[in-house]
Amino acid sequence: GIRLAPKEKLEIPVLFMPAEMKFYKAVVVIHVMRENGENWPYVVPAQSNTDLNRSVTVAEDGKTQGILWIYPINGTSEAPQQKSVVIRCQARQRLEQRVELLLIGVLPDATAGPDAGNSAVVDKDESSNAPEVTDGSPATLEFLYELQYQSDEMRSQLESLVGMQLVEKEWDTESRIVTLIFNVVFAPSKPMRNEATVTIQCTAGGLWKFPLVFIATEPEVDDVINIEAVGLNKESIVGFKLTSQTR
């Protein structure tokens, strides 16, 4: 019963308020007809795609009765923002740290998941081409993770210095909490402070994001340079080499 004038815009608000960590699907259907209910002549071009043919409702007299638009909506439940995990290492050193990330509200009863895209399957016992659809039991739950950076510049600074690999997965059936234990390697070449985000998605539904803060402190002193004076008001010179770690 919504009336639209020619070239008028219609805004359709969509509210998404998930109650559980799972996937939700819905469809918004828009059907437009003339206000007086009359049909109008409209011929669908032969070269039109099948979607256009299905979107036009034709009456018995061959005229167009209405036009239908169908917009599928896929809702992904996302957990609240988690606390930042700080990884601190001295510059020109190498740090290996185990990081435990708690996924709260995992549902074991879903049977299908989204496309993994470029993310990796974190179950280390399965091959990279393992199917994403599982039977939903705790033993076969799969999680996709990706380390995301705030900008391309930050990616160029951190990507070669940070490594992340899942080493263990623990499941608590009573609390529905899955603990993913990662081995994080951080080998900074100079002092810095950068941030990244670990995005984890469960094939049974749910999205979790964990901020990571990488801090590289000042390195140790390389050497002590002693300059011995040769006399008053005379220059003393000492030479030393500096090697660049990059081009």
Q: Do 54 and 95 sit in the same domain of this protein?
A: no
Q: Do 41 and 69 sit in the same domain of this protein?
A: yes
* Gyration radius of the chain's alpha carbons: 30
DSSP type of residue 138 = G
Across 54-91, b (16+ Cβ under 10 Å) vs e yields: ebeeeeeeeebbbeeeeeeeeeebebeebeebebebee
What does the block give as tokens for 88? Answer: 């601190």
Each residue's pLDDT tens digit, 74-105 = 999 999 988 999 999 999 999 999 999 999 98
Q: Number of structural domains, the chain?
A: 2
Instruction: Give this prediction's pTM.
Output: 0.69
- pLDDT-wise least confident of 4-13, 22-31, 109-118, 175-184: 109-118
Q: Do 211 and 89 sit in the same domain of this protein?
A: yes
Mean of pLDDT over the chain: 82
**Beta carbons of 182 and 204 less than 8 angstroms apart:** no
pLDDT at 102: 93
Each residue's pLDDT tens digit, 158-182 = 999 999 999 999 888 888 889 999 9
Please give the share of the chain, as a percent, with pLDDT higher than 90: 46
Q: Which residue is listed with tokens 């996924």?
A: 103
Q: How many CA atoms lie within 13 A of 176 on its CB side?
A: 12
Ranges 72-81, 119-128, 206-215, 238-247, most confident: 206-215
- pLDDT-wise least confident of 22-26, 89-93, 125-129, 220-224: 125-129
Q: Do 103 and 204 sit in the same domain of this protein?
A: yes
Quick check: is 56 in a domain?
A: yes
Three-state DSSP class for residue 89? strand
Residue 139 has pLDDT above 60, yes or no: no
Q: Do 98 and 42 sit in the same domain of this protein?
A: no
Q: Do 30 and 102 sit in the same domain of this protein?
A: no
User: Of the candidates 72, 71, 69, which has an alpha carbon nearest to the alpha carbon of residue 30?
Assistant: 69
